[in-house]
Amino acid sequence: MQGRTYTADAEPGDEVTVAGWVHETRDLGGIAFLILRDTTGRIQVKFEKDEMDDDLVETGLGVHRESVISVTGEVAEEPRAPTGVEIVPESVEIVSAADPELPLDPSGKVDAELPTRLDNRTLDLRKDEVKAVFEVRAEILRATRETFRELGCTEINTPKIVATGTEGGTELFPITYFGREAFMNQSPQLFKQLMAGSGLERVFEIGPIFRAEEHNTPRHLNEATSIDFEGAFCDHHEAMDAAEAVTRNAYEAVAENCEEQLEALDLTDEFEVPGGEFPRLSYEEALERINATGDLDEHLVYGDDLSTEAEHALGQDVGEHYFITDWPSEIKPFYIKDHDDDESLSTGFDMMHPRMELVSGGQREHRHERLIEGFEQQGLDPEAFEYYTKMFKYGMPPHAGWGMGAERLVMTILGLKNIREAVLFPRDRQRLSP
Ligand code: ATP
Ligand code: AMO
């Protein structure tokens, strides 16, 4: 809107036009106040009924909450106003009137359940503490791009409509692509590896992944945002260093640049950037520690995958971010390389937050014959992946990488209870719109 002043920029003595939402009105009889809200904050508009034009007063005070209005007037200092200034209006224009009945109360005085909030995201994001989550999310992604730049990576974008899955056959969304069978991509895994072998060498992608997850849980989405790294001439240790750097820098950026948002989320006092290096436990050590907690009904044996309960028990025991390394080869995907001195052990790793897994990664099998053997061992047809495997015949350096769920990162940094709170329009088993 031409000539519009943001509420935060209104200085005493200015003649301004401020446009925004009617946050609330308070009628005290001879005098009434309207609080106008925009993205920068709030400002009080004062109506002195005896001294002002009746039409002006009627328009200003007759409008329903959450309507969009534009107010022109002079800014005056007023110590009793919430921000120390107020506008004495000369004109009020109703730009877009709101219904008196709102599906959700943006002032937050009436709590709303998550589904109601998700159905009405526009109104929901008028609340400071909800808006703050998405401002923090944007800051985390900004800091992540900066970390990757420092790590010498180039940002890439890979296809989301693909011919094959990589992360296990049951979690694919099939689609029809001009009469052919195709799928929504579960991970940029194969494409990022192909780029590690290209002249780019070190790449990252921040993009959607699609998984037809069987469970409806507070930490799974059917469309998630994956932060992916892949680096040529990297081993799994360097890949873990990169995952740790991305995580720590995300926390640091939030601590440095999101003071206002942490306050809105009531996290100022408890927010902490992770301290020392994240401990690196081998899978075998992890099993021993989980069994020693006595928190599980079952006794875990070598070769077991870690259940949610096992992850929780270990997370509580360790109490900080940590890695689980050296998994048995058979429970890691075909593209992960085994240790040279012990082929039953993989270089695959997971990076865990005490609440959940954040990252999976590892060094990749870059030797063509071994890769083909790996496909066969997992019961996959290497022919279907020929577009990928053939590039391993033309000079493929050793490489390593990982994938990190962006929503899980946001969720754990802010202590959100449900991953859906970290997505504007989540996709889960029930939710396809908005
Ligand atoms: P990823 O999906 O990327 O592998 P994750 O941490 O989400 O990472 P899953 O394999 O999906 O890992 O789940 C980890 C464990 O949690 C598995 O053993 C799985 O069976 C279990 N699990 C997942 N969802 C549920 C659920 N709703 N209730 C109980 N257990 C679950
Ligand atoms: P993985 O399948 O473990 O590994 O996924 C990597 C990370 O992505 C996040 N994630 C999810 N977040 C929300 N909802 C989901 N349904 C979901 N699924 C996964 C998690 C998980 O740790 N190709 C490998 C990565 C690699 O080796 O580079 C992969 O996709 O945070």
Q: Residues 222-260: pLDDT tens digits?
A: 999 999 999 999 999 999 999 999 999 999 999 999 999
Query: Which pairs from 122-126 meet CB under 8 Å and 24+ separation?
Result: 123/66, 125/424, 126/21, 126/37, 126/66
Q: How far is residue 406's CA from residue 412's CA, in Å, rounded to a whole number?
A: 10
Going by alpha carbons, the residue nearest to atom 8 of ligand 2 is 405
Going by alpha carbons, the residue nearest to atom 25 of ligand 2 is 403
Q: Is the pTM for the entire model greater than 0.90?
A: yes
The 8-class DSSP code of residue 347 comes to -
pLDDT one-digit tens code per residue, 138-196: 999 999 999 999 999 999 999 999 998 888 756 899 999 999 999 999 999 999 999 99
Is 406 labeled as ligand-binding? yes
137, 422 Cβ separation under 8 angstroms: yes
C-beta atoms surrounding 174 within 10 Å:
11
Is 405 labeled as ligand-binding? yes
Atom of ligand 1 nearest to the CA of 306: 18
253, 143 Cβ separation under 8 angstroms: yes
Going by alpha carbons, the residue nearest to atom 10 of ligand 1 is 307
Burial zone of 105 (CB within 10 Å; 0-12 exposed, 13-18 middle, 19+ buried) = middle
Q: How far is residue 94's CA from residue 96's CA, in Å, rounded to a whole number?
A: 6
357 noted as active-site residue: yes
Per-residue confidence (pLDDT) for residue 92, from 0 to 100: 98
Is 139 labeled as ligand-binding? no
Which is catalytic among the residues 23, 126, 137, 211?
211
- The full set of domains in the chain, from first to last, is 4-96 (2.40.50.140), 122-279+320-421 (3.30.930.10)
Per-residue confidence (pLDDT) for residue 226, from 0 to 100: 98
Atom of ligand 1 nearest to the CA of 213: 11
106, 127 Cβ separation under 8 angstroms: yes
DSSP reduced 3-state for 294: coil
ipTM: 0.86
Per-residue confidence (pLDDT) for residue 22, from 0 to 100: 98
Best residue among 408, 412, 413, 421 to mutate for probing ligand 2, ranked by most atoms within 8 Å of CB: 408
Q: How far is residue 108's CA from residue 1's CA, in Å, rounded to a whole number?
A: 28
Per-residue confidence (pLDDT) for residue 11, from 0 to 100: 96
Give the angle 121-123-128 at the CA atoms, nearest 5°: 95
Tokens of 403: 């994938």
Per-residue confidence (pLDDT) for residue 215, from 0 to 100: 85
Tokens of 417: 């209870």
Is 214 labeled as ligand-binding? no
Per DSSP, helices labelled H in 8-127 are 54-62, 114-119, 121-124
Q: How far is residue 391's CA from residue 197's CA, in Å, rounded to a whole number?
A: 8
Tokens of 260: 């206002």
Per-residue confidence (pLDDT) for residue 170, from 0 to 100: 67
Q: How many whole angstroms from 410 Cα to the centroid of ligand 1?
A: 19
219 noted as active-site residue: yes
Instruction: Give the β-pairing of 31-38 and 356-363.
Output: unpaired
Residues of the chain with pLDDT under 50: none
The 8-class DSSP code of residue 276 comes to S
Q: What one-letter code names the amino acid at 233? A: F
Ligand 2 pocket by Cβ (under 6 Å): 167, 187, 189, 211, 213, 220-221, 224, 226, 228, 357-362, 401-405, 407-408
Which is catalytic among the residues 311, 357, 365, 421?
357
Tokens of 17: 């036009």
Ligand 1 pocket by Cβ (under 6 Å): 215, 217, 220, 305, 307-308, 356-357, 360
